[in-house]
Chain A
Amino acid sequence: MTGTGRTGGRGRPRRRDFLAMAGLGGAAVLLSGCGVGSAAPRGALRAAFGQPVTDLDPYNAATAVDEASLIVKRLVFDTLVRREGEELAPGLATDWRREGDTRWVFTLRRGVRFHDGSEVTAGDVVACLKHTQQVASAQTPLWATVTGVQAPDDHTVVFTTDGPLGSLPVNLTLLFIVPARLVADPEQKRSPVGSGPFRVTDFTPSTSVELARFDDYWGGRAELPAVSMPYIAETSTAITALRNGDVDLLWPVPPDQLPEVTGVSGVTVETVPSWTYYFNWFNCSRKPFDNPDVRRALCQAVNVPQIVEALFGRGGKQMRAPIPETVAGFAAQQPWSYDPDGARRLLEQAGLGRGFSTSMMWFDATGPLSRELAQALISAWADIGVTVEPQSIEKAMWLERLNTLDWDMNLQTNTVTTGDAAFTIGRLYTSEANRLGYANKELDAVLARAAGAPEGAERDALYGDACGTIWSDAVGLFPVTLVTGYGRAKELTGFTPAPNNQPDLAVVGRR
């Protein structure tokens, strides 16, 4: 042996020790790396939704109408009224009645317990409503006309409004009930206490939620002992996880990915028209969109059925009103006929025979195929001489410009969170809301009457009128309702696809 390269007797063992330690460390690291992320408990339903759950506090403004959070909240908390398909059903309230125009009385179910063992009382409901009214959020308009809430006894809640509010029972499907002492507790963000069929056992924001069955649930035990909800951001990773059986349920499957999961062994695909839809608003306060004929020209220039079919296939459905057809208050309108020549004539009458230049803003994450949809619309408008500058921007910037009406055209998805026209039409299209520079006093009057009308033919007729005005005034182009694709393991039982993307996972079992 040569001594060349050695650094002396003291150096050699140290180096060996170091290398040995490095080797051991590397092996240990590989093993510890393998332990990252928790495996779902045995028998758990592994359900992956397309957006992350960031927060579980039912009163957090940022997630007040956030679909991902709502999915979990509906499993952890109860509401007075629930949705079962298109109908409203008793939740914590067994029945309710309207007394006069401005008073609603709800009777609470007896013997319902929160996850911490305390009983649900009317006092909890009062505290929850008062707290949610104090929080500035997307829910604020729903509660603006509720002027009072009282608990004459432990099982009766009385709401008072400053005018007729027909949508109160629907709005209450969004009021999650927690113990009164916890309404403002920051711990509710991570470890909330509710009275729903599941309780939270582990939650890593934006990553995963682990739920365990609450055996004392008043509506009967959930079918499966646990629900594990990982968030998988990358579409191809999520599709692979479903195909390989790493997750039992995946939704929404993007329209262009439906063929990837259709016909796969062990996987069933179910679709349902959702309450989420695309619209392209015109800024009615800006020239030339202050002229309704210009807006109508742009609607006529687009071959909507062709675009919907080519881009979305069975993942989308052409719209026939400014709200999806499964939403309460929908009234079908005559679709704009594809007529580029007619569109050019309208532009000529508006003094824009040579066309004009404008812009369209959107953020890519607004919905599936948003960029492709924008490109298709822009191409169609180019054919009638309208040059549109595409402005794909970040969500934060988009929101900034949306609120200040700093845009010509705005492409986005929107969800009718309550499944009722009041949430979308009544909130977005009033002159006071001024969301798209559109003011129409007649429409305001119709919407005010619709908001106060009880469920029934009169209310439907009023929202039908509103649909007609918005559609014929062409305040926007409403091309497509998204059809939610649910990919699920065939062995699951009891699953019903939900149009609001919030399926009831408590009734899902396994063969």
Chain B
Amino acid sequence: MGAFLAKRLAQAVVVAFGALTLVFLIVRVVPGDPAKLIVGPDASAEQLESVRADFGLDDPLWRQYVDHLAGIVRGDLGDSWRLGGSALSNTLDRFPATLSLSLAALVLTVAVGIPLGMLCARRPGKLLDLVVSTGSLAGQAIPSFWLGIVLILIFARQLDWLPATVDGSPAAVLLPAVTLSLPFIGWLARLVRSSALEEGGKDYARTARAKGVGEGTIQYVHVGRNIAIPVVTVLGLLMGNFIANAVIIEVVFSWPGIGSLMVDAITNRDYAVVEAAILTITLAYIVLNLLVDVVYFVIDPRLTPEDA
């Protein structure tokens, strides 16, 4: 297990390095001079040069890159010109809010998606199955920012059941979490359905039926355990998706997370914050994948590191 984790960590370092390099290049290739955004259109050429020197923007790109990597090794991703202070601490201050929202969405997705998939598997081709199949396609086709606004208009403006924005109340998490999870509930339900149908036709399920075990017990106890591996794999991916999708949802709901921070940083060419935010999201993906690998062994102790 130790060797397995070490190998995974080494891979993680390569992935993080690749992501950082890509982001470094992309944000600098995109037109737009941060110095002009800092001092505005009235600044003289000398003033612009002075700001560029302050932020190291007048160095050649390779030099900036080397300094950037050296900074990362020291845990210093630079300062945010727009917000002040360390870019990493600005990002980490906001990450718990994104994580909370993403986890809330994951809990919703699991709580609704898995039972729905099991129900569909018990009665394939019936009305519920058709509704879930069609609904999951529609759910994935709907843009999340549009869905968020529609939910606000219905549940906050018209019905006044829920707050439209963060107000410190417990209910504030519901609308953004539902917006994040809705497109994926049907997706998870379909995965659970197809896996359950496949497992339900296997020998062990037939044997259980022959022994007189009830269909519910077969589905939820025997089959349920055996579809856990693909479901956990998908949950890991889902969590990553939620963190990434939160970028838009957070803007719609004024959720004070990393997504709204990143949109603001990209618009204003706050390079250090964009890089810190992408690094944080990348590391979150890597840790999640690692967790999924570890969970495999907990779910099925027969598995070896090679299986993962």
- Write the residues of chain A forming the contact surface with B, with a CB cutoff of 8 angstroms: 2, 4-8, 10-11, 14-15, 18, 25-27, 29-40, 52, 54-55, 57, 60-62, 64-65, 136-138, 140-141, 186, 189-190, 204-208, 230-234, 236-241, 243-244, 246, 394-397, 399-400, 402-403, 427, 435
Query: Bound complex: CA of A27 vs CA of B100, how far in Å?
Result: 11
Q: Is the CB of B39 within 8 A of A61?
A: yes
From B30, B100, B165, A230 is in contact (CB under 8 Å) with B165
Q: Is the CB of A396 within 8 A of B100?
A: no
Q: Which residue of B lies closest to A244 (CB)?
A: B160
Asked if A237 meets B204 with Cβ closer than 8 Å, knowing A33-B103, A61-B38, the reply is no
CB B153 to nearest CB in A, in angstroms, measures: 6
Chain A residues with CB under 8 Å of B38's CB are 61-62
Q: Is the CB of A4 within 8 A of B204?
A: yes
- Write the residues of chain B forming the contact surface with A, with a CB cutoff of 8 angstroms: 30-34, 36-44, 47-48, 50-51, 81-85, 90, 93-94, 96-97, 100-101, 103-104, 106-107, 110-111, 149, 152-153, 156-157, 160, 163-173, 177, 204-205, 207-208, 211, 213, 221-223, 225-226, 251-257, 260-261, 264, 267-269, 295, 298-302
Chain B residues with CB under 8 Å of A2's CB are 207-208, 211, 213, 222
Chain A residues with CB under 8 Å of B302's CB are 7
CB B2 to nearest CB in A, in angstroms, measures: 20
Asked if A206 meets B160 with Cβ closer than 8 Å, knowing A30-B173, A427-B42, the reply is no
Residue among B33, B165, B166, B295 having the largest count of chain A Cβ atoms under 10 Å? B165
From B251, B257, B267, A394 is in contact (CB under 8 Å) with B267
Q: Given A55-B82, A237-B254, 7 more contacts at CB 8 Å?
A: A5-B222, A37-B97, A37-B166, A233-B254, A241-B164, A396-B267, A435-B41
Asked if A15 meets B298 with Cβ closer than 8 Å, knowing A136-B39, A396-B267, the reply is yes
Q: Is the CB of A399 within 8 A of B37?
A: yes
Chain A residues with CB under 8 Å of B41's CB are 138, 399, 402-403, 435
- In the complex, the 9 A-B pairs of residues with the closest C-beta atoms, listed nearest first: A396-B32, A39-B168, A136-B47, A37-B166, A33-B100, A189-B84, A34-B170, A29-B103, A26-B107
Q: Is the CB of B165 within 8 A of A246?
A: yes
From B103, B177, B211, B254, A234 is in contact (CB under 8 Å) with B254
Q: Which residue of B lies closest to A65 (CB)?
A: B40
Query: Bound complex: CA of A30 vs CA of B298, how far in Å?
Result: 24
Chain A residues with CB under 8 Å of B110's CB are 26
Q: Is the CB of A29 within 8 A of B299?
A: no
Chain B residues with CB under 8 Å of A60's CB are 84
Asked if A400 meets B40 with Cβ closer than 8 Å, knowing A140-B47, A240-B152, A246-B163, the reply is no
Query: Bound complex: CA of A189 vs CA of B90, how far in Å?
Result: 13
Asked if A29 meets B208 with Cβ closer than 8 Å, knowing A5-B221, A137-B40, the reply is no
Query: Bound complex: CA of A92 vs CA of B11, how far in Å?
Result: 62
Chain B residues with CB under 8 Å of A402's CB are 41
Q: Is the CB of B32 within 8 A of A394?
A: yes
Q: Which residue of B lies closest to A8 (CB)?
A: B301
